Amino acid sequence: MQDVLGGRYKIIRKIGGGGMAIVYLAEDIFLNRQVAVKVLREEYVEDPEFIRHFRKEAKSIAALNHPNIVNIYDFDASADPAYLVMEFVEGMSVKQIVEEEGSIPWEQAADIGIQVARGLAEAHRHHIVHKDVKSHNILVEHTGMVKITDFGIAQMLSSTTITHNKGILGSAHYFSPEQARGERVDEKSDIYSLGIVLYEMLCGQVPFTGDNPVTVALKHIQEKPIPPQSITQDVPEAMEAIVLKCLQKDKNLRFQDMTEVAEALEAVRETGVAAPAYHQPVDFLAPEPAVDPLNDTLALPRNLTQKHGEVEANQVSEGKASKKNRWPKGKKKRLTNFLILVLVLLAAFGTLKIAQSFAGGGDIEVPSVVGFSYADAEEIMDQEGLRIREIDSEYSDEVEKGAIISQDPIAGKKVKKGRLVGVVISRGPEKLTVPKLTGKTEDEARALLEDADLELGEVKSAYDSSIEAGQIISQSPSPGKKVDKNTAVRITVSLGKKPEYVTVPDVRGMKLSDAKAALSEKGLVVAATNEEESSNDSKGRIIGQSLEPGSQVEKQTSLTLTIGTGKHSSSTTGVNVTFDVPENGVVVVTQTDANGGETMLYRGVHQEGEHFSKMYNAPSGSTITASINGKNISQTVAE
């Protein structure tokens, strides 16, 4: 199975499947929404007649626009595999609700029935008969909105038969009698099937059951359902009357159309009483003549007759048909032929059972095909008289792509000849999507990769004028790429804008305005100035600067200038600051006066082992402190 279909629908996970297709939850990467994608099974993809029907029906259903019908967004019958894209409905099917709750309160069942009837009425207006209405295909959202899905086997009303060359039909539990007889079906068939669903919601069970679809289909033709009130007293008489009217064997006695069904259900929901036109007594328990085997022919689809070819004797009603004067002469002959056919079938069935007992039909030991390719497994099973079919596919780190992960029944189990063995095929190691890391910090990237079952690989650093320092500039593999689990993703983290270095000019001897201009030209900033007694020749000029002339510093570095004041009458003392530089770093010399005011006298970069020696004139009582990288080296008090 491809990860992305049609370059647009990204498969997320499998959410269901049936005999015709597998359904996946997918993301429409163009419109950023979740969709359901139905992918045709391989055996139907190779059938041109089926594909023709598929294309025709998809176009017809896509034209439907009704709130109670699942929307068809897209389809591609020529793709490999062919697929249909539908609206994704979050909720449960009516079948799931019944299985969990046992039954559904009649008010809620009526509401569901109304919405289904309205949706099917819209389809019927477009000459589309569903033909597979069942509780599995009716979805109920958390809001109570009902959606009908899986019109997949519906055909245009101009079709003359209910089957095509693959014999695809819905479950026999929901057949209308005319479907079971192989007659052409119309909207009335959907009304019957909806009656089955209503019955199932109210009673918690379908009206007709049996060991196989043949038995069930015969009951749809021959037997009458037990009235819902005989199963549960909670069903109003009017609601029961609607259900039984839908389930009339004669389609002409059912509701005329789905709009009538909806209106009848609405009347019951609002008042608890059906509208007079629909509240007609129906005696389903009254005895009726046995079914005429000549007129009520059972024409089951091939996929049912092949699987359940045997028909038990009690499935054919003899009853009044055996009376001497029951049939006219022409019919007697046809009846005789029919009974001969039944006896032949029963004899064949008995012969088959005897042959199976001699052949040890239940003694075939299922071989192990785990680890084999599907083709090899099919050959192994064929040699043992068994069949094989893919029922699912999963990612696997241990089993190579295309090989079988598991099987059911398991190896060693005794089964009958011809038994179908389901297998799960490996899709190989799961390919994971690399998340977008650019713009994130290293810690954020590490967390994202851990959540995605990936690892953080090599971390590099680089200057970038447009990306803030600490944020990720680039990654490899790139975002969105599919990789194996635990793949290491390399990242490059920004150091910010690359710094620009300049040479500090010597501004000593300049006037303050000239010094500022010279420093500004280099991209340096005068942060502060202070004054210091000097010779009268140096009065008003720069006699000191905190950055060492000729040193390399970053642009926009600030410095302090010292301006000479000439000779003062007040007492000052020369302080000699001298030491060996203990480590690489920035040396700063400050002066703190008696009032606590601090002035920077010097700032410069020095290497470990250099000898530092400078003389400063400081007012008596002030303190001269030298430090490197913020750590004090020496401290001297001017006398």
Say yes or no to pLDDT of 250 above 60.
yes
Q: Stretch 549-554: mean pLDDT, rounded? A: 92
Q: Which residues are annotated as a binding site for ATP?
A: 38
| Residue 212 region by backbone torsions, left for phi larger than 0, else alpha for psi between -120 and 50, else beta | beta
574 is written with which tokens? 């020369």
Average pLDDT estimate for 592-604: 87
pLDDT for the residue 194: 98
Q: Which of 142-151, 316-325, 498-507 has the lowest mean pLDDT?
A: 316-325
169: its two tokens? 């039909």
Q: Which DSSP helix (H) or strand (E) runs through 613?
A: strand 611-619
The predicted model scores a pTM of 0.46
Residue ranges at the known binding site: 38
The residue among 122 and 349 whose pLDDT is bigger is 122
Phi, psi of 245 (to 5 degrees): -65, -40
- pLDDT recorded at residue 273: 59
Q: What is the mean pLDDT of the chain?
A: 81
Structural domain range at position 457: 431-494
What are the φ/ψ torsions at residue 588 (nearest 5 degrees)? -125, 135
The angle subtended at Cα 453 by Cα 451 and Cα 456, nearest 5°, is 90
pLDDT of residue 298: 44
The answer to whether the beta carbons of residues 564 and 532 sit under 8 Å apart is yes
**pLDDT tens digits along 320-333:** 333 333 334 444 44
List residues bridging with 441 in a β-sheet: 471
Q: Residue 477's domain is classified under what CATH number? A: 3.30.10.20
Q: How high is the pLDDT of residue 62?
A: 80
d(CA 315, CA 326): 20
Q: Which of 189, 185, 91, 176 is nearest to 137 (CA)?
A: 91
pLDDT score of 309 more than 70: no
pLDDT in tens, 201-224: 999 999 999 888 888 889 999 999
Count of CB atoms situated within 10 Å of the CB of 138: 26
Residue 346 has pLDDT above 50, yes or no: no
Which of 126-140, 344-358, 394-408, 460-474 is predicted least confidently?
Answer: 344-358
pLDDT at 193 over 80: yes
The DSSP secondary-structure symbol of 136 reads: G
DSSP string computed for 515-530: HHHHHHHTT-EEEEEE
Confidence of residue 306 (pLDDT cuts 50, 70, 90): very low
Q: What is the pLDDT of residue 49?
A: 73
Confidence of residue 304 (pLDDT cuts 50, 70, 90): very low
Q: What's residue 59's pLDDT?
A: 75
Higher pLDDT, 152 or 93: 93
Give the residue from 413, 415, 407, 419 showing the smallest Cα distance to 377.
407
Same domain, 376 and 403: yes
Q: Determine the pLDDT at residue 459.
A: 95
Q: Is the residue at 324 inside a domain? A: no
187-203 vs 106-125: helix crossing angle, rounded to 10: 170
Task: Label residue 345 by pLDDT band (50, 70, 90).
Answer: very low
359, pLDDT greater than 70: no
Mean pLDDT of 343-349: 47
Confidence of residue 570 (pLDDT cuts 50, 70, 90): low
Active site residue 408: no
- Domain boundary residue, one of 451, 479, 494: 494
Pair 545, 562: CB distance under 8 Å? yes
The number of distinct structural domains making up the chain is: 6
- Same domain, residue pair 123 and 263: yes
83 and 95 both lie in a single domain: no
User: Which two structure tokens, joined as six digits, stand for 493?
Assistant: 């983290």
Residue 287 lies in a domain: no
pLDDT, mean of residues 365-385: 91
Q: What is the DSSP string of 193-259?
A: HHHHHHHHHHHSS-S---SSHHHHHHHHHH-PPPPHHHH-TTS-HHHHHHHHHHT-SSGGGS-SSHH
Range from 188-202, 224-238, 466-480 that averages highest in pLDDT: 188-202
Question: Which is more confidently placed, 324 or 7?
Answer: 7
| Mean local confidence (pLDDT), 14-34 | 85
Query: Does residue 357 belong to any structural domain of this protein?
Result: no
Q: Which of 74, 80, 111, 132 is catalytic?
A: 132
The domain that holds 176 is classified in CATH as 1.10.510.10
213 plus 110 within the same structural domain: yes
The verdict on 531 and 598 lying in the same domain is no
Count the helices and strands in the chain (H runs, E runs).
Answer: 15, 30
Note whether 584 and 615 are same-domain residues. yes
Strand partners, 85: 37, 74
Q: Which of residues 494, 518, 543 is at a domain's end?
A: 494
The answer to whether 296 and 155 are in contact (CB under 8 A) is no
Note whether 198 and 243 are within 8 A (CB).
yes
138 and 265 both lie in a single domain: yes
**Shared domain check, 205 and 152:** yes
Mean pLDDT of 300-310: 40
Residues 80 and 97 both lie in one domain? no
Q: Which burial class, exposed, middle or buried, applies to 276 when counting CB atoms under 10 A from its CB (0-12, 13-18, 19+)?
A: exposed
| Residues 581 and 527 placed together within one structural domain of the fold | no
Answer yes or no: is pLDDT of 161 > 80: no
**What distance in Å separates the CA atoms of residue 334 and residue 340, rounded to the nearest whole number?**
10
- The per-residue b/e assignment along 507-528, b for 16 or more CB within 10 angstroms, e otherwise, is bbebeeeebbeebeeeebebee
Which of these three, 510, 540, 564, is where a domain ends? 564
How confident is the model at residue 18, as a pLDDT? 66
**Burial classification of residue 609, based on how many CB atoms lie within 10 Å of its CB (0-12 exposed, 13-18 middle, 19 or more buried):** exposed
Judge whether 339 lies within some domain.
Answer: no
b (16+ CB within 10 A) / e for 551-566: bebeeebebbbbbbee
Q: Which CATH number characterizes residue 12's domain?
A: 3.30.200.20
Helices 106-125 and 237-246 pack at an angle, to 10 degrees, of: 30
Segment among 52-61, 222-231, 531-540 with least mean pLDDT: 52-61
For residue 636, pLDDT over 60 is answered with: yes
pLDDT of residue 164: 35
Judge whether 120 and 129 are in contact, CB under 8 Å.
no
Rounded alpha-carbon distances, angstroms, from residue 397 to 424, 427, 480, 484, 494: 14, 9, 21, 9, 36
Check whether residue 252 and residue 386 sit in a common domain: no
φ, ψ at 359 (rounded to 5°): -85, 0
Given pLDDT bands bounded at 50, 70 and 90, which one contains residue 361?
very low
Would you say residue 20 lies in a domain? yes
Decide if 540 is inside a domain.
yes
Sign of CA dihedral 357, 360, 361, 363: positive
Query: In sequence order, what are the beta bridge partners of 617?
Result: 574
Question: Residue 569 — very low, low, confident or very high, per pLDDT cuts 50/70/90?
Answer: low
pLDDT band at 568 (very low <50, low <70, confident <90, very high): low
User: In this structure, are 132 and 259 located in the same domain?
Assistant: yes
